[in-house]
Every structure is written in structure tokens, then in C-alpha cells.
Amino acid sequence: MPAKKTVVEQPEVQPSEPTEVKEPKEAEQAPGNLYEASRKILLAAVGAAAIAQEELDGFVSRLSERGQIAEKEAGKLMKEMWDRREKLVQEKRAWFDAHRPVSASKADIESLTQKVAELTKIVEELKKEAGK
């Protein structure tokens, strides 16, 4: 009697919106190409996650084929693992966005320069008063 092959249905997953990776201007890059190193690490992590997902798919399919796990449980397990992976990806993106260097605008620099000039004037006046 031939073995019954069980097909595991993959949970429907909505593809995440593609994210556009913008190359920063040279002035925005941290010394020592920290940006480039971080980018390479992030890409390696994404690649490792993709490989792990493929391995998990194969593992669950083999379990289901052997009858060690029911089809419904296999689908549930795959959905759970996919949800965990998506959550981790979102957390990493949030961390990366929060720690991305922010460059000051020309208006910010002018405003700060003006404030420094005002503070310098106040310090000079205090020095004159203290010298009396």
C-alpha cells in the first residue's frame, strides 16, 4: 500500500511593503564606515532569516509527511513561526531607524550658532561684572 503524502498548507502571508534603502550622503556616514558595516550585518541577518525559514518549512513538511504532526498543527506552527519572525524583523527595523544618524539642517545650525553667540555675550557680561 503506497504511503499517503500529506501536503502542508502554508499560512497566507501578506508580503511586507518593500523598504527603500537610501544611501546616505558622505557627510551622514559615521567615521570608519559604520553605516556600511551596519548595513552588511543587517543584510546578513536577513539572509540568515530566509535560510532559517526555508529549513523550518522543510522540517515541518517532513514531520507532517511522517505523520508525526497533523496538517492543522503544521500550518499553525508555520504561522506562529512566521509571526515571530515578522515581529523580530519589525523590532530590528525600529531599532535601526531609531539609531540612524540624523543630520542637522542649515536652519538648525544657524539657530544653534545664534544661541551660542547670545550665550557668549552673556558670559562676557558676567565676566565684566565679576571683575568690578
Tens digits of residue pLDDT in 2-61: 445 444 454 554 444 545 555 555 545 445 688 888 888 888 888 888 888 788 888 888
User: How crowded is the C-beta side of 132, counted as CA atoms within 13 Å?
Assistant: 5
Backbone angles phi, psi at 99, to 5 degrees: -105, 10
Note the pTM of the prediction, 2 decimals. Answer: 0.37
| Domain range summary for the chain, segments of one domain joined by + | 1-7+33-101, 104-132
